Chain A
Amino acid sequence: MRIYLLLASLIENQKMIQKKKTKEGFFLREEKTAWIFILPLILYFFSLMIYPFINGIFISLTRKLVGFPPIFVGLGNYIDLLHDWVFHRVVRNSFIYTFGAVSIKLGLGMIMALSLSRGVRGLRFFRGFFLLPWITPTVVAGLIWVWIFQGEVGFLNITLMSLKIIKEQIPWLAVPNLALFAVIVANVWRGFPFFGVSLLAGMQSIPDEYYEAAKIDGASAAQRFFHITLPLIRPVIMVCSLISIVRTFNDFNLVWIMTRGGPARSTHIFATYTYETGFLSFQWGRAMAISIYITPLLIVAIILLSRYLLKER
């Protein structure tokens, strides 16, 4: 690191002189190079993300039966969905799942970050283990929680029974509200370390002097938290929460692996219902309409996030 900084400063002068001479031509050539380098990425994104997305909007305006060409139905699929009770449940479930899981993840993440932040030994030890769920494949995470919540010989029921907390086994994944709860638990387990580690990094970037000064002025721990820590890590909180909201709202994997939207559609969320409508009933138009209903929320999240993330660029 030091060597290249030194190098850079040594050649600075010489380069400045030459740069003045070549600047004009250099800059134009640079601009062209820049675009040539970016082009493959842009082409890729346009052909495999933007184009399918636009295509998807068109599909959502059609209805197609097997063996017939698609018929244009305008907003028919969107209007139908407004009268579909399952879709109502999907909207409700998605919001409970997203905001339930994200708020618990934020809360636990905050507790984790505060506990680790200043004056505790073994930071690396704890942080290292805390991130394990985040890298574990979703299939493994989902199945292990199904196994823990299993009705007859699942760990949770065995333990609760032996501790005499419950008298009868609870079929966690077979009761609508409990199933949604179980899926949220699995999501929280997998996601809270992300919050914890990010918030911790935010807290570590706050200079010690702030706390020192506040302490000298007699600020209590709570005051230090609300007047120093919280305002300074607000951007981190916002960014993590927004990313997590987008990811959780669009989640498919964990829910599909654990419940497939059941029992009685009590855990169906946007993505699982889209999949079911598309790939199990082959109603492509309707399925696309379901997923396009997500986009307003997505746009809001992206606008908010870009405010935080693009500041410095």
Chain B
Amino acid sequence: MQRFSYNIKKWEKIYRYAVLFLMLFIVLFPYYWIVVTSFKTLEQISSAKNIFIPNPFTLKNYYHLIKDTHFPIWFKNSLSVAVTTVAITLLLSNLAAYSIGRIKFRGKRLIATLILVFYLFPPTVIFIPLYLMLNKVNLTNHLAGVMLIYPTITLAFSTWFLISFYQSIPTELEESAMIDGATRFQAFRKIILPLTLPAQTAAAIFSFSWCWDEFLYALVFLQDVEKQTMNIGVYEFSLADIYPWGLLMSAGVLMSVPVIILYVFVQKYMIRGLTAGAVKE
């Protein structure tokens, strides 16, 4: 069958591209501005002339950020928190999603509803009691405390996201393997897991980027300067009397790079994840 051709008028095409490029400009301009500022000298940053190109070009901001601040430690902290959270998230959400997506049992709908509730549950409502709770067991001001809490923001989505992938694999596949004598775990590992690998990657990257972005819990739970995550450390630069723009923008570049790299690799799945639930596949 011949594909329906879109006969859109010329002026409509021009108009659409104009809109798209305008939006592209609005979206991308702040990035250009971050990068440009990060390579400027203090003198140039505080001047209103010749603002578009760093002149002279300098790496001082980056040097200063890495040598004289705790940024490398914060970066490491953020990374270890994010990786641990992703591991916990994948473990718990896979178990649950597998069960909800592939096994028939009573109360399934209730569980699915609960997961939706947890997905929307805002940290705003629980951060104070959580803080008081963790304070009692001396887990505040510890990265371990944050690692324990962060799955509250990733688990529900990850489970919700994975359920649909588990549902899309025919049950006959593993049932036959199990009838042939494989245990459920063997059937899972040999047959199901390889098929859900792309989804696992996407769930992992979603969770990672949320941990990378998390601000409120880190602000509340981590006080010592060498225990903070990157977001809090960098935010606290901005509490100085004068904003150190060069430093902030170079930090901004270094903080964005890891998630942007991840994003480039899994764009396709990110889009599926973004629209999970909202759009029927």
A residues contacting B by CB (< 8 A) are 4-5, 7-8, 11-12, 14-15, 18-19, 22, 27, 30-31, 33-35, 37-38, 40-42, 44-45, 48-49, 51-53, 55-56, 59, 108, 111-112, 115-116, 118-120, 124, 126-141, 143-148, 150, 152-153, 155, 158, 161, 189, 193-194, 197-198, 201-202, 205, 208-209, 211-212, 235-236, 239-240, 243, 246-247, 250, 252-253, 256-257, 270-271, 274-275, 278-279, 284, 287-288, 291-292, 294-295, 298, 301-302, 305-306, 309-310, 312-313
Contact with A along B111-140 (1 / 0, CB 8 A): 111101110111111111110110000000
B264 closest partner in A (C-beta): A128
Given contacts A4-B195, A144-B34, contact A313 B112 (CB under 8 A): yes
B47 closest partner in A (C-beta): A153
CB neighbours (8 Å) of A294 from chain B are 122, 124-125
CB neighbours (8 Å) of B240 from chain A are none
Closest 9 CB pairs of A and B: A119-B6, A250-B122, A37-B99, A52-B129, A56-B129, A41-B96, A140-B252, A208-B4, A34-B103
Given contacts A38-B96, A38-B111, A144-B252, contact A205 B176 (CB under 8 A): no
Q: How far is the CA of A30 from the CA of B99 in the complex (A)?
A: 9
- B95 near A56 (CB under 8 angstroms)? no
Which of A8, A37, A306 lies in contact with B116, CB distance below 8 A? A306
- B122 near A38 (CB under 8 angstroms)? no
- A158 near B51 (CB under 8 angstroms)? yes
Contact with A along B17-47 (1 / 0, CB 8 A): 1011001101110110110010000000111
Which of B20, B100, B133, B259 lies in contact with A126, CB distance below 8 A? B20
- B30 near A37 (CB under 8 angstroms)? no
CB neighbours (8 Å) of B96 from chain A are 37-38, 40-42
Asked if B98 CB lies within 8 Å of chain A CBs, one says yes
Q: How far is the CA of A41 from the CA of B95 in the complex (A)?
A: 8
B107 closest partner in A (C-beta): A35
- A131 near B33 (CB under 8 angstroms)? no
Q: How far is the CB of B189 from chain A (nearest CB, A)?
A: 14
Extra contacts besides A34-B99, A198-B274, A309-B277 (20): CB < 8 Å: A4-B195, A8-B176, A31-B104, A38-B96, A41-B96, A45-B155, A48-B149, A52-B133, A119-B13, A126-B24, A132-B263, A135-B263, A144-B34, A144-B252, A148-B33, A153-B48, A201-B275, A202-B278, A236-B278, A284-B132
B239 closest partner in A (C-beta): A260
Q: How far is the CA of A104 from the CA of B163 in the complex (A)?
A: 32
Q: How far is the CB of B96 from chain A (nearest CB, A)?
A: 4
- A310 near B263 (CB under 8 angstroms)? no
A16 closest partner in B (C-beta): B172
Given contacts A30-B104, A56-B126, A211-B4, contact A205 B280 (CB under 8 A): yes
Given contacts A37-B95, A37-B96, A44-B151, contact A127 B173 (CB under 8 A): no
Q: How far is the CB of A227 from chain B (nearest CB, A)?
A: 18
Q: How far is the CB of B194 from chain A (nearest CB, A)?
A: 10
B residues contacting A by CB (< 8 A) are 3-4, 6-8, 13, 16-17, 19-20, 23-24, 26-28, 30-31, 33-34, 37, 45-48, 51, 91-93, 95-96, 98-100, 103-106, 108-109, 111-114, 116-118, 120-130, 132-133, 148-149, 151-152, 155-156, 159, 163, 169-170, 172-173, 175-176, 179, 184, 191, 195, 209, 212-213, 215-216, 219-220, 230-231, 234-235, 238, 243, 245, 248-249, 252, 255-256, 259-260, 263-264, 267, 270-271, 274-275, 277-281
Q: Name the residue among A48, A205, A209, A301 with the largest chain B CB count within 10 angstroms.
A: A48
Given contacts A37-B95, A115-B20, A306-B113, contact A137 B212 (CB under 8 A): yes
- B24 near A129 (CB under 8 angstroms)? yes
CB neighbours (8 Å) of B24 from chain A are 126, 129-130
Which of A45, A53, A201, A202 lies in contact with B271, CB distance below 8 A? A201
Chain A to chain B contacts (Cβ below 8 Å), 6 pairs: A38-B96, A139-B255, A153-B45, A201-B275, A257-B238, A274-B124
Q: How far is the CA of A152 from the CA of B20 in the complex (A)?
A: 31
Q: How far is the CA of A235 from the CA of B277 in the complex (A)?
A: 10
Q: How far is the CB of A5 from chain B (nearest CB, A)?
A: 7
- B278 near A198 (CB under 8 angstroms)? yes
Given contacts A115-B19, A153-B46, A278-B128, contact A198 B172 (CB under 8 A): no
A59 closest partner in B (C-beta): B129
- A147 near B19 (CB under 8 angstroms)? no
A19 closest partner in B (C-beta): B175
- A146 near B128 (CB under 8 angstroms)? no
